[in-house]
Structure 1
């Protein structure tokens, strides 16, 4: 098993009130409707389990499911770190944060996200696997952004 990772950052000013964005970003029932490839989010206190769809990667496939410890500072910051339940091995996970800040035009939303996955592939496959991961993350990001903007009425 080799570990592969990909990261992304983005920032935009959204013409919407911060409380409206916050409500959308912290709603585990809404997030799968906004996010492509995300099947479900199950919240259990500060632990949220994220279940994604199956992804083909170089002749194998992965069905990522991972548990994140969520740290929420109301209407300001969402931070998350991979924190599987005791005794459970999760070969995929994420680390990151969302920052929300008022601006005269709306709300500045800054996102940093790093995803990792362990796959039964040689580490020499890293360039190809990382390329696939970055492509999937870019698609997810573009579609999530468009869906979020439409949901908050800023599209």
Structure 2
């Protein structure tokens, strides 16, 4: 269930709190193939199921950056901040791809608001995402996502 914040001030008041956890998302070979096509990264470990079956993981695996791109899916489900004039990506810090994501994996993300800083254009927020694979021993991805948010003029 999406956690809704009525204002940017409401959102920034929960620094240090877990915002929530998304539902599970299955990573398909079709997604991997489309990502490979879009990025030009057609390494066999991602797009050749026959060859990958004999590789180190026994199957194809998702690109790390495909997993990273799923943070947008998880964020949309986890939280919503109303009353914004702007909500844009500013970057990411401390991105760690901690485990492979075999095709067919079910992933979900947990988000925690870890920092907010007032800047000239609004508020820079840092949200830590931890992505886990169902049945995995540890997260497949940990990343601190930076966003710039600005409240709509009153």
Q: Which structure has the larger Rg over C-alpha atoms? A: 2
**TM-score of Structure 1 vs Structure 2, range by shorter chain:** 0.3 to 0.5
Q: TM-score, normalised by structure 2?
A: 0.32
